[in-house]
Structure 1
């Protein structure tokens, strides 16, 4: 309740319904004077913060230490005392990825060598070009030169400065000959290889309509030619760019995987008619929240392990890793209320099927990332 003065009028300013008491029974708005003092605004702010914090801490305690409890409470209709699961998922996932991208991001810093010297090193085919796919840190001849985004600019300058004589060959006959060449550095080596998009289009025009690539095949081949040409002198950079794009797709992958996880649960418990898809989705949301929270603890433990080199943190990391599987089993037991044998069988099937779902999603998004560098 706020400290504002209650209005004498008994009509709701929000929905115009008649108000009985301090709150509107239709929309829930408090029937107070619309003019608010600075003190009232500050008080309202702190009330909202403490209200949010109280529900969050209460929900957090149950999520971490009582698997399946909040999902069961939601099913029973006991929801006012806890934070809304969807809102909590949005908050924890946003916080998780803020921390995740902060930990695995190389800060923008001055490049260790000038762009001119770097270009000369990249032109040299003997240069030792290495990429750390986790941090994005790039080294040339064991010298740190910057991060992926900085290197992208260097690569663009390099490509512009190197004349590609093969790109001028634009006839169908030359295209067929060049498509089988093995010289030069390429990233994607499948099917026939073409030097330019023009060569590929020329070959397609010479083929009968039934033998030409479809729309999808055409787009894929053109993109492959573009990527091979752009990164022919710096394939390591291309792989780094792919992983960089893929890394930023992780929130989307997890968001898509959640309803699929719930779908598998709904199929496993299809005979338990008291549970509908929403019940399985709420269960899945709470499990994902637990995973986000556990991973945050894991990241903190990993950093402490790097700083102190204490073996105890390595053991804690193993325990945290195993907790994902133990927690899921406990949550299924407490929520679906089935015996150990049935729960173990369904638990194993769930993990087996979901593993293929994750592999499929990762493969699909990895290909998408490769075609969008």
Structure 2
């Protein structure tokens, strides 16, 4: 329920009709003053999503504890008192991935800052150590070090603070250099070798390999460290995951459509069931995140860890049977049929979603910058 100040005039600012109470009977707009206090922007945003009049909390309660009821209510035409399925899914997806982005180690600002600082320090060390081929002189023996070499090592020791670590770093630098030179894709170390290999081994899969090979050699030429590539890849994959889930929704509904009466159940009906079911899964993921954050400060206390594990175990068991309960109540099918359909759909969706994940991984790699 909005807390905006009501207008004294009873003409709707949107369509011009007479407003007898709070909302226009023609367009539904609330008859409030167009200018409000600044905090209204935020309170209105929250209210629009959560509906403090009870719509949001009633929807969440049914979504959690009454599998299938929301779908039945929506298909029966009782829609005003619940959050619209698409809006519910988008909101849950936003909340879930927003919370995970805050605590994700790959996107944490402090971690990224530390990595940037570490990378800069390593670059400075490498520049110092490689002055006048220090690596070669060190391997030949300390007596062969020139004055410039010695100064370079002193600079490196000042940066690191430990002479033993300098020696380890020398070895690591040499190894990483070899790894960079020896790294290959599809057996090719360079783009020229890859082109020759494709010409001598024609295959229908070559056009699939080409984009990945081009991206690999591009990153290799830029000299980006392998760990940095991995971090960038994980960040890209994480940002693409919500898109992959949203794209997968129609496919999940399609599998439901295949196994049910086409005259009685339309694809639209399966879509509503799918949106509610995926919203529940996102809500459970968020709940796991909350449980982890609550009990993390008590990681050394056995009792609290027992409660944490027990909570996760019970929620997991409930989630496993949630689909069967929801399917049984929505489609009015027998329990055995719901179990059979659930098993078949699990197998189909396992392979289908695995394929989507593989595509996501490939796309994420191609999008690494």
Same fold, TM-score > 0.5, yes or no: yes
Q: Give the deviation of 1:100 after TM superposition.
A: 0.9
* Cα distance between partner residues in 2 of 1:92 and 1:239: 28
Q: Describe how 1:153-232 pairs up with structure 2 within 5 A.
A: 184-186=181-183, 189-190=185-186, 192-195=187-190, 197=191, 203=196, 217-230=209-222
Q: 1:338 aligns with which of 333, 337, 341?
A: 333
Distance 1:224 1:48, change over 3 A: closer
Are 1:239 and 2:242 counterparts? no
Are 1:296 and 2:286 counterparts? yes
Distance 1:287 1:121, change over 3 A: farther
Q: Give the deviation of 1:194 after TM superposition.
A: 4.2
Are 1:314 and 2:309 counterparts? yes
The answer to which structure has the higher helix fraction is 2
* Cα distance between partner residues in 1 of 2:203 and 2:94: 48
Q: Give the deviation of 1:360 after TM superposition.
A: 0.5
Q: Give the deviation of 1:329 after TM superposition.
A: 1.1
Q: Give the deviation of 1:290 after TM superposition.
A: 1.1
Q: 2:353 aligns with which of 348, 354, 358?
A: 358
Are the aligned partners of 2:14 and 2:29 in contact in 1 as well (CA < 8 Å)?
Answer: yes
Figure out how many residues of one structure are paired with residues of the other and give that number: 308
Are the aligned partners of 2:6 and 2:33 in contact in 1 as well (CA < 8 Å)?
Answer: no
Q: What is the TM-score of this pair, normalised by structure 1?
A: 0.69
Are the aligned partners of 2:211 and 2:366 in contact in 1 as well (CA < 8 Å)?
Answer: no
Are the aligned partners of 2:182 and 2:189 in contact in 1 as well (CA < 8 Å)?
Answer: no
Are the aligned partners of 1:59 and 1:82 in contact in 2 as well (CA < 8 Å)?
Answer: yes
* Cα distance between partner residues in 1 of 2:249 and 2:66: 21
Distance 1:229 1:38, change over 3 A: closer
Are 1:329 and 2:328 counterparts? no
1:115 alignment counterpart: 120
Distance 1:323 1:218, change over 3 A: same
Distance 1:118 1:340, change over 3 A: same
Extract unaligned runs of 5+ from structure 2.
Answer: 136-159, 161-172, 300-304
SS in 2 for 1:256: helix
Extract unaligned runs of 5+ from structure 1.
Answer: 126-144, 146-157, 165-181
* Cα distance between partner residues in 2 of 1:184 and 1:37: 65
Q: Give the deviation of 1:88 after TM superposition.
A: 1.5
Distance 1:322 1:120, change over 3 A: farther
Distance 1:67 1:183, change over 3 A: closer
Are the aligned partners of 1:85 and 1:285 in contact in 2 as well (CA < 8 Å)?
Answer: yes
Q: What is the TM-score of this pair, normalised by structure 2?
A: 0.70
